[in-house]
Amino acid sequence: MARLPYPELQDLSPENRELMAGLPPLNVFRMMSGAGASFAPFMQFISAYLNDGVLPPDLRELVILRVGHLCGSHYEVHQHERVSRTIGLAEERIQAVKGHIPNDLFSAAENAALLFADEQVAQVKVSDTTFRAAHEHLTDAQTVELTIVVGTYLMVCRFLETLEVELEETDIDGSGLEAIEESVKSLSGGS
Amino acid sequence: MARIPYFDPANADDKLKETIDKLPGLNIFRMMAHSGGLLAKFAGLGNHILGRAKLDATLREIAIIRVGVLSKASYEVHQHERIGRQIGMSDELIKALHEGPEATAFDGLQRLVMRYTDDVVLNVRASDATFDPLTKHLSHQEMQELTLTIGYYMMVSRFLETFDVDIEEEGSTASVDLKSLERK
């Protein structure tokens, strides 16, 4: 059982209720709908890199999975393995991201980004060597986005694990990313 | 010195230009502008955490500064100690954030927030020993806000440190305006 109760729809603000109506039925969103005014901006923020980001989606998902493994967040890994499969990542690449990096199943850019993620998680500041190695493959915009994505899943994993958000009984269909994009766009006054 | 040059606003499209103009001229935003549309969403979430949460402002700043201290993120600590002073935190209280949860400057609830922050940062999942006592003082919404605040500033610390974002020069007045955030 989760550590805090999932909020009831009728107890939510109109904005959060409206948002919940369009989002995929995932327990992480059910829980966070109880976070008040921060919920909608959180969803707009994640939709920005998930749906309009500048990183290649494969690389982004591999990095997200890596952070999930490093944080020991079963829920996060489960959901993003589903997203990864939906967008076409090969199963052996999905499994390999649990293990030693670099790995031949990953491109040079992916290996560099994963090593960057490892260092960022463990020591906050990425070393010069690792920064330069990733930046050789990624633009300034992509390197900034990579750093933000790694950091965001440190936040998400902490939210999930500390509040003990449970896996759903059945998986949702598809990646769920389009539904996130649509519901964020339809927020009154939201852009 | 920053690891890559700050974004040149001359290269911004109209939407990004509008975002940059609305934000305070802080180096963190000048660097993050490289990310284009993500800047507005990143700042939007931060503004809500700072200006629209139910969580008490002093408890919030205790958590934020502590995350900065644990992350050795000098820019983050610098900016939020400024905010801490603006909202009336004493020098003694701010100093205690560098010492740890058992420092004598904390009252009971502040100490619980410090213990919880340390636990979440270091162990991902807070133990019952730090989680349970806090729930007697904070609402469910405030527990969520505190948890998101800790995570958000772990991200911010990593961004600042990995890009070596410079602290603004002495006398810079660029700052987040808490009052204006609360009015929105």
Cβ-nearest to B36 among A141, A151, A159:
A141
Q: For chains A and B, what is the number of CB pairs under 8 angstroms? A: 147
Q: Which residues of A114-131 are buried (b: 16+ CB within 10 A; e: fewer)?
A: bbbbbbbbeebbbeeebb
Q: How far is it, in rounded angstroms, from Cα B129 to Cα B139?
A: 17
- For residue range B89-125, list pLDDT tens digits in order: 999 999 999 999 999 999 999 999 999 999 999 999 9
- For residue range A57-70, list pLDDT tens digits in order: 999 999 999 999 99
B161 touches A: beta carbon within 8 Å: yes
Residue B184: the pLDDT is 52
Least Cα separation, residue B65 to chain A (angstroms):
15
Q: How far is CA A18 from the centre of its chain?
A: 22
A1 touches B: beta carbon within 8 Å: no
DSSP string over A122-177: HHSSPPHHHHHHHHHHS-HHHHHHHHHHHHHHHHHHHHHHHTTPPPPSSPPSS-SH
Q: What is the ipTM of this complex?
A: 0.97
Cβ-nearest to B147 among A36, A145, A162:
A162
A71 touches B: beta carbon within 8 Å: yes
User: What pTM value is reported for the model?
Assistant: 0.97
Cβ-nearest to B35 among A124, A144, A161:
A144
Q: How far is it, in rounded angstroms, from Cα B53 to Cα B36?
A: 26
Residue A28: the pLDDT is 98
Residue B175: the pLDDT is 78
Q: Which residues of A touch B44 (CB under 8 A)?
A: 41, 44-45
Contact call for B34 and A141, based on CB within 8 A: yes
Q: How far is it, in rounded angstroms, from Cα B39 to Cα B61?
A: 22
Contact call for B45 and A42, based on CB within 8 A: yes
Residue B162: the pLDDT is 98
Q: Residue A38: how many CB atoms within 10 A of its CB?
A: 26
Residue B181 clears pLDDT 90, i.e. is over it? no
Tokens (6 digits) for A43: 């969803």
